[in-house]
A and B are shown apart, each in its own frame.
Chain A
Amino acid sequence: EADIYQTPRYLVIGTGKKITLECSQTMGHDKMYWYQQDPGMELHLIHYSYGVNSTEKGDLSSESTVSRIRTEHFPLTLESARPSHTSQYLCASSEYGAGTGEETQYFGPGTRLLVL
């Protein structure tokens, strides 16, 4: 399993503030992902990265941005938070199974964001 860390776990912030959600993994995985999960429970991919200096937008349009300067670190930034950004944000990294070439995504504990 991967060790994936997300900070903060909970964040309450006012409209217009800039925020960065941190995600780190210690397993050296090349692929990392950000998902957004609204109270209705469904998860949507908003960003992914296949390695250092690689970032792509996911299926759900998001005003957030990401960067991947180091393999282990994949932070997500909102330049100006709004109430519509209130959600849970889950970070994941994926590992290839030895001998199978199949990937499994492992998730961090999530950050619950509330924008007032």
Chain B
Amino acid sequence: AQKVTQAQTEISVVEKEDVTLDCVYETRDTTYYLFWYKQPPSGELVFLIRRNSFDEQNEISGRYSWNFQKSTSSFNFTITASQVVDSAVYFCALSEGVESSGDKLTFGTGTRLAVRP
């Protein structure tokens, strides 16, 4: 069965600090997809990134970067020079199987990030 673990329940940093959110996953499939979503206080989930299991390249998008390591089953998310607007709950998610390229997501429990001015 698939499982996503976000061990960090809450993180608090001061603005401009770098912060890394950890995500560890479990799956028996060789084909799977990993996602990160952001949930600001307003409640909606905002899609940030999708990565398939065959693409281990790290990705950078502005202040955001993602480190995918199959050897440790991790898909960590780093925010560089954090800002107050980054305060939110961040969810890592997994879907597995050739026929399930993005549906039936299994979510982690989320990490609440507070960025203090």
A residues at B contact (CB < 8 Å): 1, 31, 33, 40-45, 48, 58-59, 88, 90, 92, 94, 96, 101-110, 112
Contact = CB atoms under 8 A, between A and B. Distances in A.
A41 B110 contact: yes
A104 B45 contact: no
A48 B103 CA distance: 9
B21 interface: no
Contacts of B47: 1, 104-107
Given A31-B103, A103-B101, A40 B50 contact: no
B105 interface: yes
Interface residues of B, number: 24
B43 A102 contact: no
A108 B44 contact: yes
Contacts of B45: 43, 90, 92, 107
Contacts of A45: 104-105
Contacts of A88: 43
B66 interface: no
Given A41-B89, A42-B107, A112 B101 contact: no
A43 B107 contact: yes
Contact of A42 (B35, B46, B102, B110): B110
